[in-house]
Amino acid sequence: MRIPPLIALAATVPLCAAQAADPPARLGLCAGCHGERGIAASAEIPNLAGQNLPYLRQAMRQYRSGARDAAAMRAAVGMLSEAELDRILQWYAAQPPREPPP
């Protein structure tokens, strides 16, 4: 019996949602400044919740290369493998954007 593609896709949604609910293992390194859900506690630190994933990936490449001059970010991303960093970026991109707390 052949399962229609839409039904097969719909069957994977609960699995993806369950995986998306689990924060990445190394999130604490970033959450200290950017918040666990991507809402920073300080106005000087950018919110990452809902940010465009390709933009986040490009920004991290620039921090790693030194094209963006931020020593703290270069040190933080330097401690993460590519896979760990990408999982964190996917997490932040998937979070709903909100207004930062006052």
For the stretch 24-50, pLDDT in tens is 999 998 999 999 999 998 989 999 999
Task: Give the per-residue pLDDT at 13.
Answer: 46
Instruction: Look over the chain and give the mean of its residue pLDDT values, rounded to a whole number.
Output: 84
Picking from 30, 32, 43, the residue whose alpha carbon sits closest to that of residue 93 is 30
Query: How far is the C-alpha of 39 from the C-alpha of 11, rounded, in Å?
Result: 31
Task: Give the per-residue pLDDT at 3.
Answer: 61
The angle at the Cα of 7, spanning 90 to 4, to the nearest 5 degrees, equals 125
Residue 46 near residue 40 (C-beta atoms within 8 A): yes
**Has residue 53 got a pLDDT over 50?**
yes
